[in-house]
Structure 1
Amino acid sequence: MFAASTSQLRVRHGDKHHRVTFVELFFDLVFVFAVTQLSHGLLKHLTPLGAVQTGLLMLGVWWVWIYTAWVTNWCDPDRPAVRLMLAALMLAGLVLSCSIPRAFEDRALPFALAYVFMQLGRTAFMLWVLKRHDPANFRNFTRIFVWLAAATPFWLAGAFAGATIAAFVVSFLGSVAMWAVYFNIGAERASHRIVSSDDPGRIARSGYTYLHLLIVAGIIAVAVGDELVLHHPAGHDGHTDWATAAAIIGGPLLYLIGNALFKRLSAPNLPLSHLVGIGLLALLAPTAATTTPLMLSAGVTVILIVVAGWEWLSLRNAVAIANPPY
């Protein structure tokens, strides 16, 4: 019905701007509806968890809209094929918008399917448009399609078991951050200090016999916390009981304290990144009364990532191994 040999792209005339067509304005109305749905959803769930969920949905809505607006800068909305593509996106956009109020409940699958259809469908249309007329950008859109396709399983998996998948991802990222906090520089620097010390036995005894007790205790508590979050991500009536909160926050707290003291053996001062992380974990503790275990665990993971990233940036030069700039 539509020949690929007929260009669907806008005709450029130097620096002349193109007018916004009515079909584009009509498409924008769908996303005005989506924004309204987001505001109503936040109003009904005016809690820290509700704010985070609304923020995640807003990012999804934003990227669908901004990518589509970008594509319409390339395509000519007066072409029948482009109009059909926009009409299909509008229909999917209505499904997405209507699913927003319960996107983390029974409408998760329609939201995810609409989002995936819009992202992949629009990009596939651009591949069809650019294949014969713009080989360079055809390759760019091929990469975009592959990237969006790679993200598709996560959207769909989240729709089927959102809380469980999210808990697993948070747990995994937290483990990676903990690995980075210890192995990025701490173990190597401690080994170097022991070898070059006049009294290697004393340093090894302090670091590995005593201080590692805190680190290992922290790892055990983290494992307990992760297990609790995986089994009960929503907690009890939207909050975290004190025992679960103690495991979720206490484990990383012990881990950072142990690492800070361990690294003090081979550095002139306690690492500032670790001290800030300890302080942030302490500030996070009171939120357990109004936060689910999953959200509390996510907050802890963010703090661990910040600590690991901060330390990596401060020690990125090789010379810092011998003289760390804490």
Structure 2
Amino acid sequence: MTSGLPERLLQRRENPRRTSFLELFFDLTVIFALTRLSRAFLHDLSILGGFQVLVLLAAIWWVWFVTAWSADWFDPRAPLIVALLLWVMFGGLLMAAAVPTAFDEHALVFAVAYVAIHLGRAALLLPALRGHPLQVRTARVAIWFAVSGVLWIVGAALASVRELLWALALVMEYGLARLGWPTPRLGRSSWPDLQVNGGHLSERYQQIFIIALGELILMAGVTYSDAGFDHEHTMAFVLAFVTAVALARLYLVPAGGRVGAAIEAAGPPGSKLALLAGYLHLVMIAGVLATSVAMEMTIEDPAVRDHGHLVVGVVGPVLFLVGRILLSMLVDSHLPWARLIGVPAIIVGGFVSIGLSQLAASAIVAGILLLIVLLDAMPAMWRRESVVGSDAAPG
């Protein structure tokens, strides 16, 4: 343990790091936030509405990601870290509650909660980290969050430039993290300074992605329960379940479960991989969220023919696949050809679906996702058959 830092606060890097109960408890705020975001997008499928939801999602994701990253360094049983996670959780609940009107009357609630989360984290950690190198890293992050916080608060006060200023603040925050938070006189953090426990962070990524899929299943079930149990609504609900299963399989196999090993194998530069993986998980979760909205619309009115609904139903799976393809390239350094083919296939399927019911369009997309799963699994099946055949051959 590094001298000057209370032993009860810093997590020993050599110890196995599992997700704590409090971290999982904190994730409940994300479930609430995703349901609010899907409701907001469902009520406004315009380009502006989609952009606003993306901005809010990126802000909520950044709260989760920075918290997961910083919590990786500390003992979750330490009272200070417990207080920190509860502080972030309460702020996250305020942000989620404000989502439906975050660009209207409750913009200030959303912005103040967001800024208070990040600056409050620094206010708790900086005194406790006195004399430790982590204090400098925390100070760099806090200074830039104070700068971006001005954009958040001014954007909340000025409705005419709200989207622009909030988007600019997020671009600044995401970009500065990639650059190591360069700060006058304090320098920038190196990748060893930002080194994380690959197994723990990978587990957190998997858990939050499962939560995103859980929101899809939850909202599909609620919508189905309200819509009725006739033939068409039941078929739409089945398609929602099949789509969720396909997305889960495509995420987990293979690179979804190998992120942690790749981070650990890379050594200190693995923190760069962990950060990029975080950005790609945002893309994938945005895709799952859009898919959830599309499935809700399908269950609610399977016979509707609407171009806006169709676009959302195509954009969601495409966003997920793009993020997942890039994750495979990042972790395994190869292009998964089945998924590459799947992206244009889903887009073509969307064009073919023009004029068809939402139920038919969803069936086409679900069918393509299942085909991708099958094609993706074929190389592994061929290898197993080859091994079995080799073992059975006479020596």
Q: Shorter-chain TM-score: which interval?
A: 0.3 to 0.5
State the structure with more CA Rg: 1
